[in-house]
Copies of this chain bind each other. A is one copy, B any other.
């Protein structure tokens, strides 16, 4: 969404915009660091397509998928940020065979299928790049608008507003929050062996009936730029600073 990407785009120097297959990419530099902002649009398929095209076109050193999320963990409120040490696909499940009822908790998660050097592998959870995660967690100590936690990001195209289902995802699978893109981007990066981290800010949480706060989109982008700087420094990428 625009409130999730506008600040990043504004901050780019020498911005160059192009569309590939419809998806929008803005490349430029931020304090001397080469950065590409991909406006993925909504959902797993868009995130997959934009991440494939972004990697094939720009060959990034690393990918961060960032934006807003809905809370699952009762320890979290709006403006808190989740670093996805793991991501899961909440739409990938198999239900029990049942003749009556359609309870959304009568499920087991199914794995994500990815290719590793041509071999098909399966994992329910995809892990973040450890260096990116460490740098982001360290940078989290400077974040003022809430807290930054290491957790688990759940992705799918659905928007759960049932409290019992949210509790189930949190208690059974350790889900911190839900959104619609991160796991698809993580999956694509896994295929390409590109270091990946999902960074998601709670814009709302059904747990406390806290509705969508658009300003969280800005807070997340500000934090992500600090992570970009810290990671570039760690990688000894030449910057203006």
Contact = CB atoms under 8 A, between A and B. Distances in A.
A165 B95 contact: yes
Given A96-B161, A161-B95, A118 B44 contact: no
Q: Count this chain's copies in the assembly.
A: 2
Contact of A110 (B19, B105, B159, B206): B159
A117 B21 CA distance: 9
B97 A161 contact: yes
A27 interface: no
Interface in A10-56: 19, 21-24, 41-46, 48-49, 52-53, 55-56
Interface stretch (A72-80, A139-147, A187-195, A227-235): A187-195
A157 B110 contact: yes
A115 interface: yes
A235 B58 CA distance: 37
A21 B93 contact: no
A113 interface: yes
A94 interface: yes
A157 B21 contact: no
Contact of A92 (B43, B92, B115): B43
A95 B159 contact: yes
A158 interface: yes
B41 A115 contact: yes
A22 B191 contact: yes
A99 interface: yes
A162 B156 CA distance: 20
A99 to B, nearest CB: 5
Nearest to A48: B48
B158 A110 contact: yes
A164 B206 CA distance: 27
B161 A114 contact: no
Contacts of A168: 102
Contacts of A156: 91, 157
Interface of A: 19, 21-24, 41-46, 48-49, 52-53, 55-56, 89, 91-107, 110, 112-118, 120, 156-165, 168, 183-184, 187-188, 191-192, 206
Given A97-B206, A102-B165, 9 more contacts: A46-B114, A48-B52, A93-B158, A94-B161, A95-B158, A97-B162, A102-B104, A110-B158, A110-B159
